């Protein structure tokens, strides 16, 4: 299986949990996970997790952005950085599954609008 993101896509070594998260999404679940993200809903896959501010419990520390966790590593990306990795992962996914383009494009547009990205 081709990875969705590689080390060449990594803008900062601290962002590794985001790369691992996107690569952990199975091809069969990719569209569904992106749809959840467009609604601001995160998910966990084995030892990696993606969380949005509305996902956290009241007792947890609030954050702004998207939090990626890999075992005991954690990074909070601003929405622009999150979108950078998301968009790259989607481009690579669509190289293999071009028939899903309309669904992916719709969700990417929704995410850009939700977080006011250009």
Domain boundaries, given as residue ranges, for the chain: 12-98
In this structure, the strands spanning 48-51 and 66-70 are antiparallel
Residue 118 predicted with pLDDT over 80: no
pLDDT tens string 81-99: 999 999 999 999 999 999 9
SS (H, E, C) 60-97: CCCCCCEEEEECCEEEEECHHHHHHHHHHHHHHHHHHC
**Residue 82 token pair:** 């999150």
pLDDT bin (cut points 50, 70, 90) of residue 58 is confident
Tokens of 24: 């952990």
74 forms bridges with which residues in the sheet?
Answer: 69
């Amino acid at each position: 299986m081709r990875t969705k993101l590689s080390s060449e896509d990594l803008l900062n070594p601290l962002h590794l949990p985001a790369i691992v998260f996107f690569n952990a999404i199975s091809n069969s679940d990719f569209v569904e996970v992106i749809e959840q993200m467009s609604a601001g809903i995160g998910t966990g896959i084995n030892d990696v997790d993606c969380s949005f501010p509305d996902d956290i419990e009241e007792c947890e520390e609030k954050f702004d952005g998207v939090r990626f966790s890999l075992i005991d590593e954690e990074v909070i990306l601003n929405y622009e950085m999150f979108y950078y990795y998301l968009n790259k992962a989607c481009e690579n996914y669509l190289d293999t599954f071009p028939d899903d383009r309309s669904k992916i494009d719709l969700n990417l547009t929704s995410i850009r609008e939700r977080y006011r990205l250009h």
